[in-house]
Amino acid sequence: MKKFAFLAAAAAVCAAIATPATAQFAKPEQAIKYRQAGMALIGSHFGRMAPVAKKEAPFDAAAIAKNVEVLSVLATLPWAGFAPGTEGGDTKAEAWSDAKGFKQAEDDFLAAMGKLKTAADSGDFDAFRVAFGNVGKSCKICHDAYRKDN
């Protein structure tokens, strides 16, 4: 019985920890807010590097690597907020009716992000500039297809 009580307590603790991560959104509006917040942060951390890529600001390799490290985590976030049943916001219905295409666009973005991380970590400006441009293209392809009012 002692062992059972321990296992039951351990299971309860696991459930308490796991629940917030699995049952993320009680209402569709919360998912919409979450994905919009994620996209806003991605836009901020991506956009702030544009002047560097365009050679309008100096290339600080360490600062870029640090920012891309943050961006790499942010890049993984919004997608859970596009769960079925959360249609709305600035997203076209096609993101759900063409779920395969939308997932492909997500995968392409994350692949481009992986290459940007490698380039930023290398400290090489030209590698960074090319990889930055490719991430930007993947943003635009997805926005053109699935975001309203581009």
Position among 54, 66, 140, 148 found at the interface with ligand ASC (CB under 6 A):
140
Contact 25, 86 (CB under 8 A): yes
Residues 6 or more apart whose CB falls under 8 angstroms from that of 2 comprise: none
Minimum CB separation from ligand ASC for residue 47, in Å? 3
Position among 80, 114, 136, 145 found at the interface with ligand ASC (CB under 6 A):
136
Q: Which is nearer to ligand ASC, 25 or 59 (CB)?
A: 59
Minimum CB separation from ligand ASC for residue 49, in Å? 9
**SS3 letters across 3-61:** HHHHHHHHHHHHHHHHHHHHCCCCCHHHHHHHHHHHHHHHHHHHHCCHHHHCCCCCCCH
**Taking CB under 6 A as the rule, which mask of x and - marks residues 33-72 in contact with ligand ASC?**
----------x--xx-------------------------
The answer to whether residue 139 forms part of the interface with ligand ASC (CB under 6 A) is yes
The answer to whether residue 133 forms part of the interface with ligand ASC (CB under 6 A) is no
Count of residues touching ligand ASC (by CB under 6 A)? 7
* Options 65-73, 86-94, 112-120, 138-146: segment touching ligand ASC (CB under 6 A): 138-146
Residues 6 or more apart whose CB falls under 8 angstroms from that of 34 comprise: 24, 25, 77, 78, 80, 81
φ/ψ of 104, rounded to 5, equals -65, -40
* CA pair distance 24, 78, nearest whole angstrom: 12
Which parts of this chain interact with ligand ASC (CB under 6 A)? 43, 46-47, 136, 139-140, 143
